Amino acid sequence: MLEAGDSLPNVTLKDAGGADFSLERFRGKPVVVYFYPKADTPGCTNEAKDFTDLSSEFAALGVPVVGISKDKPAKLKKFADKYGLNVTLASDEPGDACEAFGTWVEKSLYGRKYMGIERATFLADASGKILRVWPKVKVKGHAAEVLEAAKAL
C-alpha cells in the first residue's frame, strides 16, 4: 500500500457517467481519495453518506473527495442517485488504481480467502504528494477524522 511521502499514481478512472478522468485533474489542489469495496452495501453506503454530509466543509477547504470502487459506472450513478451522494464516485473496473495504490489485497471471511478492496483513504497535497494514509478504515467517524486532517493543510 502507498505510504505518506509517495506520489498519487496517475491512473485513469471512469466517473459515474462513464466518462474517463485521471487523478491528474486534481493537481494544484489537495485531494482525498478513498477506496471502498462495493457500492450500496451498509459500510460503503455509510462511508459515502458521511463524506457527503461533510462535502461542503471539504469544498470550503478546496479539497475534492473521490471514492473509488470496482463497480461499473452505471451502478455508481444509481448508488449516488439513491442516496443523494455529492462526492465524486469513480469506477476502477480493471483494477489499475487498486493495484497502484495497493488496496487490492487478499481477504478472509469465515476461513475463505479471496481478493478484494481494502477500505483505505489517502490525503494528498496540491503537488500530489500523499500526506496521510488511513489503512483498514473503520467507517464510524472516519470522514470527520479525514476532514480534521484536511483542515491542518
Of 10, 145, 19, 30, residue with least CA distance to 89? 19
Residue 98 annotated as catalytic? no
- Of 8, 13, 32, 44, which one is the catalytic site residue? 44
Sign of CA dihedral 90, 60, 120, 127: positive
Of 12, 8, 56, 54, residue with least CA distance to 29? 8
Residue 141 contacts by C-beta under 8 Å, 6 or more apart in sequence?
A: none
Q: Measure the CA dihedral 60/64/69/71, to 10°.
A: 90
Q: How many CB atoms lie under 10 A from the CB of residue 92? A: 23
Q: How many CB atoms lie under 10 A from the CB of residue 7? A: 11
Active site residues: 44
